[in-house]
Amino acid sequence: MPLHMSHLTIGQFSAFLDQQLSAPEQSICQTHLNTCADCQQQLTELQQTVLLVRALPRAPLPRSFLLPAEALAEEKADAPPNLVGQAHNRIIVFPSYIHSTMRIASTLVAALGLFFILSGVLTIALPTAEIPLVPTPFAIHVKAKVPSSSSSSSKYPSLTRDSAAPARFGDDPVTTGDSALSSTGGSVNTHQPSSSPNTSQQQPPLSLIRPFFNADTSRGHLGIGLLLFIVGMVGVIHYSLSSRKKHDKHDHCNR
Amino acid sequence: MDKFARDDEVKLIARSQQGDISAFNQLVLHHQQVVYNTVFHLLGNYDTAADVTQDAFISALRAINTYQGKSQFRTWLLRISTNLVYDHWRRIKRYPSESLETITDEEEANTPTLLDTLAQTGPDSNPEENVLTRELQQLIQRGLQELSIDQRTVIVLCDIEGLSYEEIAQATQTALGTVRSRLSRARANLRLYLSQHKELLPRDYRPTNRGIDTH
C-alpha cells in the first residue's frame, strides 16, 4: 500500500486540524482523506469535538483578584527572614573538600584511639610482659611535673615504666596523682596552712581525672583511647551522614 | 493584544519589578479572566479555582523579578497557574477520601450555579435549546474532567485559551512533541466520551455517515 493510502493516525488527525504537519505530510494526508470515507468521518468528529470545546463560554469571575497594597509590604516583611535563613545556611554548609578532610581526620583519630585502647588492654592482659610504652607527649608532659623521675626517664625509659608500675598494675592510680600534687603543693601547705583545706577540696576531681588520662598507666591508655575513639567515630558518622544528605539533595534537584 | 499594547505591558512589568503594586494590579486586571478560566476548566470547581487563581497572582508577585521576557507574560502566568493546579491535584491524590467528599458536596451545592453561569450562550433561543446548551456545556466539562491532568491541561490551553503549540510547551515545560501527542490523545478521548452521549449533542455536531470536506 502506498504511503498516501494508509489511514491517518490519532496524532496526524489532530495535527492536521491545527495545520501542524509538514507540508508534504499535510498533502499526503489530504490526498488520503479525499479518498477514505472512514478517515473523513473521524476527522469530522474530531473537528466537531474541538469546536464544542472552543464554544465553551468563559467562566465568569467570582470576584476580583487584585492584590491589596499590603501584599507587597508583607512580601518585603517576609524577605529579611529568608535572607537570614540563606545566610544561616551559608554558614552551616561547608564545602565538600572540608567534609572529606574532616572525615579522614576523624578516621585517623578513631584509629589512634583504637591503638591506645589495644595498648592499654595488652598491658593489663599481659602484666609480666615487657611491653615498652610508646613515649607520648602526654607522658612527657606528666613527667615534667614530677621532678624525681624526669632525669631517669630521659635516659632510661624502662625505669620510668618501673616507677609508674604500681599505678599501671592497678594498685592505686590515685596515689601517684596525689603524691605528685602533694609534692608540688607541699611548700604551699607550709606557708599557708589556712588555704590547705580549700586546695584539698579542689584537688580530688583533678586527681581522679588525671590518672585516668595518664599516658604512663594502662588505664590512662584505655581512657585516652576510648576518648579518641569516641570522638573519631562521632566525627566519621557525622560527616558521612552529612555528605550522604548532600548527595541525596543533589539527586533530588537533578530529578 | 489590542487595547492592552505589549509596550504597556512591558512598562507595567518593569514597574512591578520595582515594587509598584498598582502596576502589578493592572496586569492582574488584564489577565485575571484568562487565568481564572484556565484554572476553572482544569479543576472544574469554582471555589477551588478562585483560591488557586489568587495564589497564582501572589506567586507571580513574589517571582516577578525572575520574569525575563523570554516568553509572553500570559504564558508565564499560565505556567505558574498550571503548576499550582498540579500541586493541588497531587494533594487530592494524596488524600483522596477527604478531597472527594469536598468535591461532591461542592458540586451538589453549586449545580444550579454551575448551570446558570455556564449557559451564557444562545439567550435568544427557546428554553428547550437553552437547557440543551446548559447540559451540553456540563457534559463537555465532565468530559474534560475524565481526561488525565496532562491531557486536560494541553486541551484547555490549546482549544479554550488558544495558545500555540510553542506557548503550551513553554507553559507546561514540556517538549513540542509531547504537547502534540498529549493534545491528540486528549481530543480523541474527549471525542470518545462525547460519542457515548450522542443524545445530548446538537444535530449539527452529531456524527454523519459521510465525511465533510475539511477545507
State ipTM. 0.79
The confidence score (pLDDT) of residue B75 equals 96
The confidence score (pLDDT) of residue A103 equals 85
pLDDT-above-90 percentage for chain B? 62
The confidence score (pLDDT) of residue A207 equals 59
> Which chain B positions have a beta carbon within 8 Å of A54's beta carbon?
159-160
Closest residue in B to A9 (Cα–Cα): B184
> Which chain B positions have a beta carbon within 8 Å of A60's beta carbon?
117, 120
Q: What is the mean predicted confidence (pLDDT) over A88-106?
A: 62
The confidence score (pLDDT) of residue A120 equals 81
Beta-carbon count within 10 A of A224 CB = 23
For chain A, the first-to-last Cα distance in angstroms comes to 45
Q: What is the mean predicted confidence (pLDDT) over B140-148?
A: 94
Q: Does B77 touch chain A (CB under 8 A)?
A: no
Beta-carbon count within 10 A of B23 CB = 18
**Å from A254 to nearest chain B CA?**
15
Q: What is the mean predicted confidence (pLDDT) over A145-153?
A: 44
Q: Is the pLDDT reported for residue A133 higher than 90?
A: no
Cell of A225: 583511647
Task: Give CA–CA dist A188/A199, Å, rounded.
Answer: 10
pLDDT-above-70 percentage for chain B? 75
- The most confident of the ranges A7-21, A74-88, B115-129 is A7-21
The better pLDDT of the pair A130, A63 is held by A63
**Å from B104 to nearest chain A CA?**
20
Q: What is the mean pLDDT of chain B?
A: 81
For residue range B95-134, list pLDDT tens digits in order: 765 444 444 444 444 443 444 444 444 444 444 444 447 8
Closest residue in B to A50 (Cα–Cα): B159
Q: Which DSSP string corresponds to A104-154?
A: HHHHHHHHHHHHHHHHHHHHHH-TTS--PPPP-HHHHHHHHH-HHHHHHHH
The confidence score (pLDDT) of residue A173 equals 41
> Which chain A positions have a beta carbon within 8 Å of B168's beta carbon?
none
> Which chain B positions have a beta carbon within 8 Å of A51's beta carbon?
205
Task: Give CA–CA dist B158/A18, Å, rounded.
Answer: 10
Total residues found in chain A within this entry: 255
pLDDT band at A241 (very low <50, low <70, confident <90, very high): confident
For residue range B50-93, list pLDDT tens digits in order: 999 999 999 999 999 999 998 999 999 999 999 999 999 988 88
For residue range A168-181, list pLDDT tens digits in order: 444 444 444 444 44
pLDDT band at A101 (very low <50, low <70, confident <90, very high): confident
**Å from A10 to nearest chain B CA?**
6
Closest residue in A to B138 (Cα–Cα): A56
**Å from B100 to nearest chain A CA?**
22
> Which chain B positions have a beta carbon within 8 Å of A64's beta carbon?
29, 32
Q: What is the mean predicted confidence (pLDDT) over B171-190?
A: 96
pLDDT band at A239 (very low <50, low <70, confident <90, very high): confident
Alpha helices in B95-199 (DSSP H): 96-118, 127-146, 149-155, 165-172, 176-195
| Inter-chain residue contact A65 with B53, CB threshold 8 Å | yes
| Inter-chain residue contact B32 with A65, CB threshold 8 Å | yes
**Å from B150 to nearest chain A CA?**
16
Which of A16, A53, A62 is opposite residue B159, by nearest beta carbon?
A53
Closest residue in B to A74 (Cα–Cα): B62
pLDDT band at A127 (very low <50, low <70, confident <90, very high): low
